[in-house]
């Protein structure tokens, strides 16, 4: 069982020792690192193919449909057919576009999506590198995504693409703030910025200690990757297709790939921060990690199939007026509790009830605010005045 639990690390150790029998150490490390990079790239592509199929199946079942069912058993070959279709489509560049930036944007948006996987701990010892600032490294990569979106929108010479780019940056900046505040609370509990140390120090899954922080992170994660109901950057009814409206063929596919690669990445970060990472009984650690990741992904897909889209003002208000105060309050609670007591089980006994109280208070305040809006709208309608939108 021990060999199965550490099969990938054992294989890499065996391969490294075998290469050392006839190669110098530096060349052996170069070959091992190359194999790890290829494995990460291969995993990312396979994950995207599976996630596209999974999302179409999940949303179809929510809508009382079947979903992909023609190509292969259960429609499993449908993603390959879609990939072939993307590859053979014509690559079109607008006549007045900035060609250099236009062609560079799809490449730039793929870079941070793939670099994140370097510090994701898939299991005990199953990571490319253990940076002591791993979670800070992940947050920093988000700024490159914003840059790529601006490049795509600005270089397309299209007002809808530019508006979509501006919306994207406003959304990402707004939801980055509560996400970072939630991450700070996790760092306060673990005392480390390393993704591996966060899992190792997580004897009790932090979702039990900070369920409010988990919900805040989940909302921010959905917004960061442009998932419904936070997909205003691609609102078809308003700005057609957002910042990549002018892209076609393989360039469009690269934006599509980046979205689903980031979807798995934010789910992996959520698993690491709140669900105990690879920890679990009986099954191998990497299986537990994948089960937890796909459970988070399923919830995000469930959101898409059930919640209506926000207006842009509602979406930004939700970030600054709801999620940021909740994240700050969570930091205050974590700081006070960890300063007073050091036992993790006492943390659970104190922080879980406090989080329940915070959640009830937040829902009550949101309900009262909505009631006031309804009463105000009815009064305005009764007077015959135009309603405020």
Q: Tokens representing 76?
A: 């499993």
Question: Residue 386 has what pLDDT?
Answer: 55
Is pLDDT larger for residue 3 or for residue 216? Answer: 216
d(CA 165, CA 151): 8
Residue 382 confidence (pLDDT) above 80: no
Question: Residue 245 has what pLDDT?
Answer: 80
Residue 320 confidence (pLDDT) above 60: yes
Is residue 126 within 8 A of residue 8, CB to CB? The reply is yes
Is residue 243 within 8 A of residue 152, CB to CB? The reply is yes
d(CA 179, CA 199): 18
The model's pTM: 0.85
User: What's the whole-number mean pLDDT along residues 62-84?
Assistant: 83
Q: In which band, very low, low, confident or very high, does the pLDDT at 385 lie, cut at 50, 70 and 90? A: low
Average pLDDT over the chain, rounded to an integer = 82
Question: Residue 83 has what pLDDT?
Answer: 81
Q: In which band, very low, low, confident or very high, does the pLDDT at 2 lie, cut at 50, 70 and 90? A: low
User: What's the whole-number mean pLDDT along residues 197-201?
Assistant: 87
Is residue 109 within 8 A of residue 258, CB to CB? The reply is yes
DSSP labels, 68-103: --SSSGGGTTHHHHHHHHHHHS-----TTS-HHHHH
Residue 244 confidence (pLDDT) above 70: yes
Question: Residue 384 has what pLDDT?
Answer: 64
Q: DSSP letter at 367?
A: H
Question: Residue 4 has what pLDDT?
Answer: 63
d(CA 217, CA 175): 9
- 389 CB-side CA count, 13 A: 4
Residue 388 preceded by cis peptide, ω within 30: no
Residue 387 confidence (pLDDT) above 70: no
Residue 241 confidence (pLDDT) above 70: no
Q: In which band, very low, low, confident or very high, does the pLDDT at 101 lie, cut at 50, 70 and 90? A: confident
Per-residue pLDDT of 125-146, as tens digits, reads 788 788 888 888 888 887 788 8
Among residues of the chain, what percentage have pLDDT more than 90?
5
Question: Residue 233 has what pLDDT?
Answer: 65
Q: In which band, very low, low, confident or very high, does the pLDDT at 236 lie, cut at 50, 70 and 90? A: low
Residue 388 confidence (pLDDT) above 60: no
Ranking 114-118, 221-225, 239-243 by mean pLDDT, the lowest is 239-243
User: What's the whole-number mean pLDDT along residues 22-51?
Assistant: 84
Q: In which band, very low, low, confident or very high, does the pLDDT at 238 lie, cut at 50, 70 and 90? A: low
Question: Residue 373 has what pLDDT?
Answer: 77
Residue 288 confidence (pLDDT) above 80: yes
Q: In which band, very low, low, confident or very high, does the pLDDT at 21 lie, cut at 50, 70 and 90? A: confident
């Amino acid at each position: 069982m021990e060999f199965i639990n550490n099969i990938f690390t054992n294989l890499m150790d065996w391969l490294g020792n075998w290469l050392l029998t006839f190669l110098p150490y530096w060349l052996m490390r170069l070959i091992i690192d190359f194999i790890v990079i290829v494995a990460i790239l291969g995993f990312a592509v396979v994950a995207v193919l599976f996630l596209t199929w999974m999302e179409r199946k999940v949303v179809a079942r929510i809508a009382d449909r079947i979903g992909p069912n023609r190509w292969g058993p259960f429609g499993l070959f449908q993603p390959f057919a879609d990939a072939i279709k993307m590859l053979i489509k014509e690559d079109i560049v607008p006549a007045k576009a900035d060609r250099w930036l236009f062609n560079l944007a799809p490449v730039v948006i793929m870079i941070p999506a793939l670099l994140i996987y370097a510090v994701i701990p898939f299991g005990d010892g199953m990571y490319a590198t253990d940076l002591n600032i791993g979670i800070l490294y992940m947050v920093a990569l988000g700024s490159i995504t914003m840059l790529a979106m601006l490049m795509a929108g600005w270089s397309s010479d299209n007002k809808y693409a530019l508006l979509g780019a501006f919306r994207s940056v406003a959304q990402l900046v707004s939801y980055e703030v509560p996400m970072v505040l939630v991450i700070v609370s996790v760092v306060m509990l673990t005392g480390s910025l390393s993704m591996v140390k966060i899992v190792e120090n997580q004897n009790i899954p932090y979702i039990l200690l900070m369920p409010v922080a988990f919900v805040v992170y989940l909302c921010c994660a959905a917004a960061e990757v442009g998932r419904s109901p936070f997909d205003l950057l691609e609102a078809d009814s308003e700005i057609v297709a957002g910042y990549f409206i002018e892209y076609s063929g393989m360039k469009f596919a690269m934006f599509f790939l980046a979205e689903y690669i980031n979807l798995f990445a934010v789910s992996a970060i959520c698993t690491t921060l709140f669900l105990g990472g690879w920890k679990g009984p009986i099954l191998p650690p990497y299986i537990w990690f994948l089960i937890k990741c796909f459970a988070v992904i399923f919830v995000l897909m469930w959101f898409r199939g059930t919640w209506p889209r926000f207006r842009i003002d509602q979406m930004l208000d939700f970030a600054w007026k709801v999620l940021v105060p909740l994240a700050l309050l969570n930091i205050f609670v974590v700081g006070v509790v960890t300063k007073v007591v050091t036992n993790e089980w006492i943390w659970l006994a104190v922080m879980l009830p406090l989080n329940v109280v915070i959640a009830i208070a937040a829902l009550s305040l949101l309900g009262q605010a909505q009631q006031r809006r309804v009463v105000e709208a009815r009064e305005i309608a009764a007077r015959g005045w135009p309603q405020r939108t």
